[in-house]
Amino acid sequence: MTRAGNAALGSAVMSENLLKCSEERLWALIAQRAKAGADVATTTLIDRKIWDLFGETWAVMFTDLSGFSRQVQTFGILHFLQVIYEHKIMLEPVIAKYDGILIKQEADSLMLIFRRAASALRCGIEMQHVLEQVNEGRSAETKVLLCVGIGYGPILRIGDDDVYGNQVNAASKLGEDTAKAGEILITRAAMDAATEVDGVSYSKIDDRIPGSDENYRVKYRP
């Protein structure tokens, strides 16, 4: 193929990539935004285009296993890997039941999205119930103790690989750093969007975290 032909093919491939809601397209727009500098009008236009292409409204859930480092130290790395495997297998049917999408897993943490905040909350409650039943037959040292954080709002979704946004950051902080074993913590935005969930009440927590100034502990029926 001639040099001109190669150039045309490369241009065609680039054009095709820019017609997809792909990570490449996002970063191409971010590169344009970086060049814009102090040009507020151009930056605003690019921001609107990014949100038009990638912005969606989802509930976001982060889960984490409480006391895991202590278990690893006591039982070793193979126990660590086994519990990661077991807890994911136990929770997958619950996630599927409430139409959750697993975005990614990092060690003992899961990041999930749900179209409805109520679905995310119901899923979190059932996850806790499932693990409570499992833990009844386990010693204190081997129990699977889940922490859950839930947010809801506009996010940037890049394929099935990652999501970004204030409520993503808030849910991560609540689930991975703030919640204790057996707890479900929820942002004000997620709580307001999950009004149809019966049998729950909420108590405000003191923590103000990036992405959500008001956050609540979910009180759910055993």
Which residue, among 124, 129, 95, has the nearest Cα to 218 in the 3D structure?
A: 124
DSSP SS3 for 83? helix
Do 14 and 105 belong together in one domain?
A: no
pLDDT in tens, 51-77: 999 999 999 999 999 866 666 666 677
Confidence of residue 10 (pLDDT cuts 50, 70, 90): very low
DSSP SS3 for 55? strand
Do 98 and 30 belong together in one domain?
A: no
Distance between CA 30 and CA 84 in Å, rounded? 36
The confidence score (pLDDT) of residue 92 equals 96
The range of the structural domain enclosing residue 16 comes to 3-54
* CATH number of the domain that residue 98 is part of: 3.30.70.1230
Distance between CA 132 and CA 143 in Å, rounded? 9
Beta-carbon contacts of 110 under 8 Å, excluding residues fewer than 6 positions away, are 61, 62, 63, 88, 91, 102, 104
Q: In the chain, how many domains are there?
A: 2
CB-side neighbour CA atoms (13 Å) of 90: 20
Furthest-apart CA atoms within the chain: distance in Å:
71
The confidence score (pLDDT) of residue 21 equals 58
